[in-house]
Amino acid sequence: MGSKIVDISVIVRRIACQLLLCLAPVLAFAKTQVQGVRVWPAAEKTRLVFDLSAPAQHRVFTLTKPHRIVIDLANTRLAQPLPNRRFNSDLLRGLRSADKNNGILRVVLDLTHAARPKSFLLKPYKKHGHRLVIDLTPTEIKKPPQKLVKPAKPTKEVASVNREKLRDVVIAIDAGHGGEDPGAIGPQGTQEKKVVLAIARELARLVEREPGMHPIMIRNGDYYVGLRERINEARQHKADLFISIHADAFTHPKARGASVYVLSEKGASSEAARYLAKKENESDLIGGVSLNDKGDLLAQVLLDLSQTSTREASLGTAAAILAGLGKVSQVHNRNVQHAGFAVLKSPDVPSVLVETAFISNPHEERKLRSRHHQRRLAKAMMDGVRRYFYSNPLPGTLLARRRHIISRGDTLSEVAQHYDVNLNQLRLVNGLEGDRIKEGEILLIP
């Protein structure tokens, strides 16, 4: 899992930036060296990491015609020439550098199209030293093709409804770790970040195929995304569910099976305190409501309401996902687990964290690497998600409309035929063992 450790590094990073401002005059005497540059290209974001001998004051700005990004590092020089190979990136064409006479090292990134830069310094962590990270987000993101929702046959129930206004349920899928943070590592050297991304992609593919649902990939390449950033991304997309996918590690190689986590009560109350403390200076919306114009007590009540309903939905989906996983693999914990994982702290997006298996267990490590097993895990999670949202349909979503009230003489196969759905799926989403249905019962139509 390892997310807690990384969360601390975020705090450390913040402190590091503040410290840096105070230390700047002292640092002016020493010349910082750039010891290497690494590039992590991906469609959504290209990350460059400069390995530094010490923290460096820097500024970043963009130039156009042609598109470039300039990074000036104070009192810095290159320890070795910059790599001048191809970076396998659609965005980054090349790297150049120049020593300015005032001790500034200027690095120029040649781009194929416009991108927004974001920079931050990282303190030494594990085998890495001081680093300057530059994230480049293309400003003209190629939008994925609009999802086609398979039109259902018009029925008495749905004919009068204006289908345009019904929305998809949005599922944010978060592959844990990434980039410099490999996550847990199996005895054969399998990296958690890689297998969880493969599982996440499988799950996204299944969600995409599901009528009335739409996936958002929080990480879709080999780069690190901060834990708060993951939460913010899900909230910006107004996700109805956030699933963080991981693969556990334990000192005991025999530990095995899946676990599903939701935020603990303690984690929720510390997060509430954080929101209430900063509510005066931030116009963040909680469940569509702004807290910063509310009195303390009202803000607290609103936040509490939002967190309570989020927690209920988190628990509901977590239980459904755990049940799904139990059908395809061993379950490590029979009950939903509670923990203070930072990535689960959205006050208004139901969030679950799935430890798909123990990567530290040689047998499970092997399974995690197999495409077949990755698909089975994704399918099991999809089954849980589907079951939850069909049993708890969100108002205003397409799924909420797909219901059939059984009249006298209806048979299950006729209903399936009428809505053009698979009979097995119809049984599955309604939890039916056989084909017996009762008049007046409501069937959920997948």
Instruction: Report, in Å, the least distance between residue 105 CB and Zn ion.
Output: 36
- Integer Cα distance of 28 and 4 in angstroms: 34
Q: How many residues bind Zn ion (CB under 5 A)?
A: 4
For Zn ion, the closer of residues 183 and 350 by Cβ is 183
For Zn ion, the closer of residues 178 and 446 by Cβ is 178
Q: Hey, which residues between 124 and 163 contact Zn ion (CB under 5 A)? A: none
For Zn ion, the closer of residues 235 and 246 by Cβ is 246
Q: Hey, which residues between 1 and 40 contact Zn ion (CB under 5 A)? A: 1
Instruction: Report, in Å, the least distance between residue 244 CB and Zn ion.
Output: 8
Instruction: Please name every residue paired with 92 in a beta bridge, in sequence order, or none if there are none.
Output: 111
Residue 338 interacts with Zn ion (CB under 5 A)?
no
- Check if the beta carbon of residue 372 is closer than 8 Å to that of residue 283: no
Using alpha carbons, select from 158, 325, 345, 396 the residue that is nearest to residue 242: 345
Torsion of CA 251, 255, 261, 266, to 10 degrees: -50
For Zn ion, the closer of residues 115 and 245 by Cβ is 245
For Zn ion, the closer of residues 183 and 324 by Cβ is 183
Q: Hey, which residues between 316 and 335 contact Zn ion (CB under 5 A)? A: none
Using alpha carbons, select from 70, 36, 69, 29 the residue that is nearest to residue 53: 36
Using alpha carbons, select from 309, 280, 311, 278 the residue that is nearest to residue 294: 280
Instruction: Report, in Å, the least distance between residue 355 CB and Zn ion.
Output: 7
Instruction: Report, in Å, the least distance between residue 301 CB and Zn ion.
Output: 35
Instruction: Report, in Å, the least distance between residue 192 CB and Zn ion.
Output: 5
- Check if the beta carbon of residue 324 is closer than 8 Å to that of residue 389: no
For Zn ion, the closer of residues 167 and 369 by Cβ is 369
Of the residues 41, 55, 176, 347, which one makes contact with Zn ion according to CB under 5 A: 176
Instruction: Report, in Å, the least distance between residue 194 CB and Zn ion.
Output: 12
- Integer Cα distance of 232 and 238 in angstroms: 10
For Zn ion, the closer of residues 1 and 197 by Cβ is 1
> Long-range pairs for 124-128 at CB < 8 Å and ≥24 separation?
125/9, 125/12, 128/51, 128/180
Instruction: Report, in Å, the least distance between residue 215 CB and Zn ion.
Output: 20
In the structure encoding, which two tokens stand for residue 317, read together?
A: 């989906």
- Integer Cα distance of 97 and 48 in angstroms: 14
For Zn ion, the closer of residues 1 and 200 by Cβ is 1
- Nearest residue (beta carbon) to Zn ion: 246
Instruction: Report, in Å, the least distance between residue 388 CB and Zn ion.
Output: 23
The residue behind tokens 């803000």 is 299
The residue behind tokens 């994230």 is 135
DSSP letter at 153? P
- Integer Cα distance of 407 and 156 in angstroms: 13
Instruction: Report, in Å, the least distance between residue 55 CB and Zn ion.
Output: 28
- DSSP conformation letters of 292-313: TTS-HHHHHHHHHHHHHHHHHH
- One-letter amino acid identity for 73? L
Q: How many other C-beta atoms can be found within 10 angstroms of the C-beta atom of residue 45?
A: 23
For Zn ion, the closer of residues 52 and 354 by Cβ is 354
Q: Hey, which residues between 252 and 271 contact Zn ion (CB under 5 A)? A: none
Instruction: Report, in Å, the least distance between residue 126 CB and Zn ion.
Output: 15
Give the per-residue contact string, 217-246, with Zn ion (x = CB under 5 A; - = no): -----------------------------x
For Zn ion, the closer of residues 39 and 227 by Cβ is 227
> Which of 168-176, 203-211, 269-277, 407-415 is the region at the interface with Zn ion (rule: CB under 5 A)?
168-176
In 3-state terms, what secondary structure has residue 148?
A: coil
- Integer Cα distance of 332 and 261 in angstroms: 12
For Zn ion, the closer of residues 338 and 387 by Cβ is 338
Residue 52 interacts with Zn ion (CB under 5 A)?
no
Residue 183 interacts with Zn ion (CB under 5 A)?
yes
- Integer Cα distance of 263 and 318 in angstroms: 11
Binding residues (CB under 5 A) for Zn ion: these are 1, 176, 183, 246
